[in-house]
Structure 1
Amino acid sequence: MAFNSRITGVGSFVPPKIYTNHDLEKMMDTSDEWIIQRTGIEQRHWVDESTSTSDLALEASNIAIADAGLKASDIDMIVFATLSPDHDFPGTGCFLQAKLGIPNICVFDVRQQCTGFLYGLSLADKFVQSGSHKNILVVGAEVHSKGLDKTPKGRAVSVLFGDGAGAVVVSRTEVKDKNKDAHVMITNLHADGSYAKELWVPAPGTAVGPDRMSHGLIDEGLHFPEMNGKTVFVHAVKRMAETLTQSCKEMGVTVNDIDLFLFHQANLRINSKVAEVLQIPEEKIYNTIQKYGNTTAATIPLGMHDAIKEGKLKEGMLVASAAFGSGFTWGSALWRY
C-alpha cells in the first residue's frame, strides 16, 4: 500500500523581547538605514538569559500538535533542526522530547543550518511514506542571540539573526486526487562541503588544535560566526532558483502554478533576486524577515504559521519553499496545503 504525508498542524513561537535596528545602533557601528538597505530587516526577537532553544521549540510544538488535533502522545517521531543546541550533546531533540513528556519514540537532530527544516521535512515525509510512522513532529528552532558578537567587529553578521521556533506535524494521509488533496509532493536536497568555511563557526571543535575550546580561541573570536557575504549571496540566488526549478519540473508544474512561495528568510535581497530570476510576482512571496530577522531553521515554519494566521495561506493552495545555508546546503519542497 502506498502512503503519503501531509502537514496537518503548524505552530510557531518567538520570545517577547524585540530589538529594533535602533537598539543595535547602541551596541555596534551600524544604522537602521544600513541594515534595511542591505537585508530588509527592521527588528528581531532575542531571548532572555534563562531561555533555551528547546524552550522555544516546546511552545511552537504544543501549538502545532494542537493544530493537528492531536495529543503529544500521538507523536511517534521528532525531527529537530537547529544550529544552536541547548548543549553540545545530547541532541536538543532529546531535551524537547522530555519536555513534551513522550519518552521512547525516535528522535533525530538535523544540523543543516538554514536548510535544516527542509531536510527535516524530507526525512519525515520519507518515514511516513515507508509506513513505519504516522505523526512526525518537525521542528526548526534557534537561539542565535547568545552566540553573536554584539560589538562593532561583529556587525556584518550579528544584525542578521533573530531567535524563534516553528514546528509542523507531518501525518499519514490518503491522496485520491493529487491536484486537490493536501500532501507533500516532493523534497529536493543538495550540499557542497567545499564551501563549508564561507559561512561557519570555527570553534569549539576538534579541528582547532589540542583542545576543543581554549582562552586563545575565545580571544581570537573564533566562537563567533564568520561569513563571506558576497559568495553566500551569489550561491544562494543560483542554488535556490535551480532547486525550485528542478522540483517543479519533476512534478510537472511551473512557477506560475504555485500559489504561495515560503522562502527561507536570510536576506530580502536574496528572495527578491530569486523572484527576478524565476519571474515570480513579488505578491506571491511571503516574507517575514522584516520583523524576525534570520531565524535559520525556523524561518519557513515560522512564516508558514504567520501566513495561515493572516489568511495568506489557505487550504488547497500549492506551496513552494526553497532554502540555502551554511555547508553549503540547499533544497526545495512542493506541497499542497
Structure 2
Amino acid sequence: MYTSRITGIGHYVPDNIVTNKDLEQFMETSDEWIQERTGIKERRWIDPKSDDMPSTMGVKAARQAIENAGLTPDDIDFIVFATLSPDYYFPGPGVQVQDLLGVKEIGALDVRNQCSGFVYGLSVADQFVKTGMYKNVLVIGSEYHSGGLEKSTRGRGVTVIFGDGAGAVVLSRSEDNQKGILSTHLHSEGKHAKELALIGPATNRWVDQIMEENDPDDTSYYPYMNGNFVFKHAVTRFGQVIHEALQTNGFQTSDIDMLIPHQANLRISQFIQKQMGLADENVYNNIMRYGNTTAASIPIALSEAYQEGKIKDGNLVCLAAFGSGFTWASALIRW
C-alpha cells in the first residue's frame, strides 16, 4: 500500500468582518459576554452582495492548495467536499467544484458530518490514495452559516458563535512510509443527534408544512444547540479520540508538535490543552478571529499554522474534531 501525504494547503475567508460590537446593534449581547463564553472576538460573514457560496469559497481555497502542491487542477483525480451548508439542498457542492475548476469528469463525493466533516473527508481520501485508486485527492471543508442564523436576542446563543469560510488540502500518493497520514479514527453517537441540529425544513417536515402551521414561535428552521450538554460531551470525546490516535501509533501526548482542534469554543480547546499538558506553541487556535466555521475550521487553522511556519517538516500533527451527530474524529500526521 502507498502512503498519503498532504502536499498542498490553502484557505479562504470572506472580507466582511463582523465584530462582537457589531452584534450588539441587533441583539442583547456584549463583547465581554461573548468572549467570556466562547473566546470569539470577531467572525467573517459573507456579504450577500458578493458571489461567495460554499462551492465558490471552496474553489478559492482549492486553487491555493493545488498551486501550493505544485500541481494543476487537471492533476486532481477525485474531490471530497465536507459541508453542512451546501449551495443547494441537492446536488451537493462537490460537483460544482468539478465544474468551476474546469477539470475532466472526475468523481465528487459530499460528506455530511458537520464539525467532524473535514477529518471524515480526509479519512475517506486517505483510503482512496493508500489503496492506489487515486493519486491526488482534493479535500475541501466550506461553510456559509451566516445566511441561516437567527440574528436576534432569541438566537444569540448560536448566532454569536458561527462564521463563514473554507479550507482545502491536496492529499497525494507517496512511497515514503515514514511521513504522511499515520491513522484516522472516526466515531458517532446518534442518540444525541437532536442536541445540536437543524430540524426543519427537512424531508420529514417540508416547507409547506411549516408555512401551514404558521407558528411565530417555531424555530425549527434555525440551528439548535444544547450548549452545556454539547460542551460536556466534547471535552470527553476530544481527549478520547486524541489518545486513541496516539496509542495506535505508539506515541504520547508529549510527542505532539501541533494539535489543531476543531474551533468550536476556545474554552474547549483550553481545557483539552491543559488536560494534555501541552504548551501554547503546540496548540493552534484561531476561533477568536473566525468563530466556528464547522467543516472549514480545521483546514483553515491548518493552513494558517502552516503559513505561519508553526508546522515544519517531520512534525507530529494531530487533528481532532467533535460536533453534531454526535460525531468525533482524529487524524495523526507525520508532516
TM-score (norm 1): 0.96
**Residue 200 of structure 2 contacts residue 206 of structure 2 at CA under 8 Å; is this kept in 1?**
no
* Deviations, residues 149-173 of structure 1 (Å, cap 9, x unaligned): 0011100000000000000000000
Higher mean alpha-carbon deviation, 203-212 vs 280-289, is at 203-212
Q: Given the alignment of the two structures, is residue 292 of structure 1 paired with residue 290 of structure 2, yes or no?
A: yes
Q: Which amino acid aligns with 2:233?
A: H
Whole-Å Cα distance in 2 between the matches of residues 318 and 79 of structure 1? Answer: 24
The offset of 1:209, in angstroms, is: 6.6
Q: Which amino acid aligns with 2:13?
A: V
Whole-Å Cα distance in 2 between the matches of residues 281 and 67 of structure 1? Answer: 29
> Any gaps of 5 or more consecutive residues in structure 2?
none
- Specify the alignment match of 1:247 in structure 2: 245
Whole-Å Cα distance in 2 between the matches of residues 139 and 174 of structure 1? Answer: 24
The offset of 1:211, in angstroms, is: 4.7
- Specify the alignment match of 2:13 in structure 1: 14
User: Counterparts of 1:1-337 in structure 2 under 5 Å?
Assistant: 2-49=1-48, 50=50, 51-176=52-177, 178=178, 182-208=179-205, 211=208, 214=211, 216=213, 219=216, 220-337=218-335
The offset of 1:282, in angstroms, is: 3.0
**Which 4+ runs in 1 deviate beyond 6 A?**
none
The offset of 1:217, in angstroms, is: 6.7
TM-score (norm 2): 0.96
The offset of 1:226, in angstroms, is: 0.4
Whole-Å Cα distance in 2 between the matches of residues 283 and 6 of structure 1? Answer: 23
Q: Which amino acid aligns with 2:23?
A: L
* Deviations, residues 254-307 of structure 1 (Å, cap 9, x unaligned): 110010111100000001111222222233111000101000001111011111
The offset of 1:213, in angstroms, is: 5.1
Q: Which amino acid aligns with 1:125?
A: D
Whole-Å Cα distance in 2 between the matches of residues 103 and 87 of structure 1? Answer: 22
**Residue 192 of structure 1 contacts residue 328 of structure 1 at CA under 8 Å; is this kept in 2?**
yes
The offset of 1:238, in angstroms, is: 0.2
* Deviations, residues 131-181 of structure 1 (Å, cap 9, x unaligned): 1100000000000000100011100000000000000000000115x2xxx
> Any gaps of 5 or more consecutive residues in structure 1?
none
Please give the secondary structure, in 2, of the residue aligned with 1:152.
coil
The offset of 1:308, in angstroms, is: 1.4
Q: Which amino acid aligns with 1:166?
A: G
**Residue 185 of structure 2 contacts residue 245 of structure 2 at CA under 8 Å; is this kept in 1?**
yes
CA root-mean-square deviation: 1.4
Whole-Å Cα distance in 2 between the matches of residues 14 and 23 of structure 1? Answer: 18
**Residue 7 of structure 1 contacts residue 170 of structure 1 at CA under 8 Å; is this kept in 2?**
yes
**Residue 127 of structure 1 contacts residue 133 of structure 1 at CA under 8 Å; is this kept in 2?**
yes
Q: Which amino acid aligns with 2:247?
A: K
